[in-house]
Amino acid sequence: MAGLTGNLWQATRSLRFRLALSYVLFFTICMLVIGGFFRWTLQGIIQGEVDDALEEEWGAAKGYLHVVAYGPDWFYDAYDPEESFIVSRLQRVFLLTDANGKPVMRSPVYDAIGVDSPDEIKSILKSGRPLLRTRYDHGEPYRVRSGKWVDNNQVFYMAVGKSMAEDEHILGRFTRDYFLMLPAVLLLGSVFGWYVAGRALDPLNSVSRTAQRITSSNLNTQIRPRGAGDELDHLIETFNAMMDRLNHSFEQIRQFSTDVSHELRTPLTVIRGQLEVALFTAKTPEQYREAMENALEEVERLSSIVRALLLLSQSETGQLVLQKTDVDLAETVRDIVDQFQIPAEGQSVELTSRTPDHCVAPADRIQFERLVSNLLSNAVKYTPAGGKVKVTLAALPEQVKLVVEDTGSGIAAEHVPHIFERFYRVPSAEPEKGLGLGLSFVAWIVKAHGGSIQVESEVGVGTRFTVTLPAGESPARRLAAEAAEREVAS
Ligand code: ADP
């Protein structure tokens, strides 16, 4: 029982139920309003016709009623069936009083509906305007037209009326039939509403069923749009795009795990080999030393990989906060370029730099060093022998501009938008060349400093990275700028 109540409760919470209910409620209100409106219109038409008929009867009454010596009386041809009929119909609801409201003639109906009070009659006679109203005899309505009648210089108050029982009956039937039919129409409407809501929400259910089936092994699942171009198709497209992004990220992470394992395995294998050499084959102290040195080199490599991974997670979780101070960026760039001279020479790459004497700006020294080394190491790494790498630093009025350009392999246009993504490596890049993290760090460092970075690259020609950082306004920078100006002047 509790289960059934629970299921019912669950069903009433469903969007389908709520949509169908709103539809039925709206439909009911519309039907009631339409029914009320038709009844009101029908009543108006009927009353209009009755009023017109009464107007005619009033005219007929004036034709057949005349005041003679003994008072007013009906004058008609009693042998003419038509005239007899008209007069007898007039007499059914008829009242004639003198100017003081004293009844002179009246039909028995007036016993029930009551004669108008003398005051009322006097005021109607005074106004001279005809009056149309509905009077009731035990619920049975009578429409009465009353007003002033003058004959033979005598003023009377005359009222002719008509029972509206027949008309009320027609209205009653209309109302009854309409409201009897209403539940059936509403039932049909509910079934239709339920069906339409179900059909409209079907694609949603399909999205939810598909989403339930998705696991890490079938992230490339897509839902086929129905081609209707409506909101649900838009939802399906959004869902598919989201799945694409998820799949892409998942692929990157999967690739990253493979790369990390590969990166860690190579130095580990080397360390193992060197330790085995030390243990089993080395004989002289030089051989031991060489094996140890080689192993240490690989341990360094391992540490740098682990450091990179740690840094990445720290920057992503917001744990890495910049420690900004006034840094002479020109000096920093020169130091790093010096450090890269040996590896560049080793690859026969010509490395040159152009910097002002000083360029002081607010920056995190360590992160700025990392930014320059990552760009430089890429430039050297992806430039073949005989190529050139050039680093330029320029102090602009409001900004500092760092350009690292090379005559290396270049990056194909379709990869350029992705190179700053984590773990992204141009597919052809040799696996041992990196983890695809360097540029994501660069992007993070630039962003954290409030700067921007641009890439221009052409395959086979070279690549240029342009970093722009805000120069800030610091006393040290002002002094340095002044010193530079003095130098130029002297
Ligand atoms: P990696 O550790 O693989 O170098 P990065 O994030 O530093 O990772 O760079 C991402 C990718 O961008 C690299 O795989 C490489 O293909 C490309 N790339 C970066 N810098 C250069 C460059 N100066 N010349 C050519 N390709 C580059």
- For 434-458, write each residue's pLDDT tens digit: 677 889 889 989 999 999 999 999 9
Within 8 A by CB and 6+ apart from 265, the residues are none
Closest by Cα among 118, 133, 121 to 158: 121
Q: Is residue 477's pLDDT more than 70?
A: no
Q: Is residue 380's pLDDT more than 80?
A: yes
For tokens 């954290």, the residue is 448
Query: How far, in Å, is the centroid of ligand 1 from the Cα of 379?
Result: 8
Question: Given ligand 1 and candidates 372, 383, 403, 425, which is best to mutate, with the most ligand atoms within 8 Å of its CB?
Answer: 425
Distance CA 187, CA 304 (A): 73
Q: Please, which residues bridge with residue 395 across strands? A: 400
Q: Is residue 195's pLDDT more than 80?
A: yes
What lines the ligand 1 site, CB under 6 Å? 378-379, 382, 406, 408-411, 419, 424-426, 429, 433-440, 463
Question: Given ligand 1 and candidates 259, 382, 437, which is best to mutate, with the most ligand atoms within 8 Å of its CB?
Answer: 382
Average pLDDT of the residues in 338-349: 94
- For 90-148, write each residue's pLDDT tens digit: 989 999 999 898 998 999 988 888 888 899 899 999 988 889 989 888 888 999 999 99
Query: How far, in Å, is the centroid of ligand 1 from the Cα of 216?
Result: 28
pLDDT score for 462: 95
Query: How far, in Å, is the centroid of ligand 1 from the Cα of 66?
Result: 119
Please check whether residue 423 is in contact with residue 256, taking contact to mean a CB–CB distance below 8 angstroms.
yes
Query: How far, in Å, is the centroid of ligand 1 from the Cα of 423?
Result: 10
- For 424-439, write each residue's pLDDT tens digit: 888 875 555 567 788 9
Q: Is residue 474's pLDDT more than 80?
A: no
Average pLDDT, the chain: 87
Q: Is residue 161's pLDDT more than 80?
A: yes
Percent of the chain at pLDDT above 90? Answer: 48
Query: How far, in Å, is the centroid of ligand 1 from the Cα of 33?
Result: 71
Q: Which atom of ligand 1 is nearest to the CA of 441?
A: 6
The amino acid occupying position 209 is R
Which helix (H) or strand (E) segment holds residue 110: the answer is: helix 109-113
Q: Is residue 323's pLDDT more than 70?
A: yes
Distance CA 434, CA 380 (A): 13
pLDDT score for 430: 58
Two tokens, residue 104:
């002179």
What are the CA-CA distances from residue 234 to residues 1, 203, 230, 316 (Å)? 41, 11, 6, 31
Distance CA 424, CA 290 (A): 36
List of E strands, 77-139: 94-98, 103-106, 131-137
Question: Given ligand 1 and candidates 312, 378, 453, 459, which is best to mutate, with the most ligand atoms within 8 Å of its CB?
Answer: 378
Q: How confident is the model at residue 208 (pLDDT cuts 50, 70, 90)?
A: confident
String of b and e for 266-289 (b: at least 16 CB within 10 Å)? ebeebbeebeebbeeebeeeeeee
pLDDT score for 322: 86
Rounded to 5°, the CA angle 19-20-21 comes to 90
Q: Which residue's CA is the nearest one to ligand 1's atom 13?
A: 425
What are the CA-CA distances from residue 459 to residues 314, 347, 375, 411, 413 (Å)? 34, 20, 17, 5, 8
Q: Which atom of ligand 1 is nearest to the CA of 438?
A: 7
Strand pairing report for 388-395 and 350-354: parallel
How many C-beta atoms surround the C-beta of residue 41 within 10 A? Answer: 10
Q: Is residue 375's pLDDT more than 90?
A: yes
Query: How far, in Å, is the centroid of ligand 1 from the Cα of 321?
Result: 25
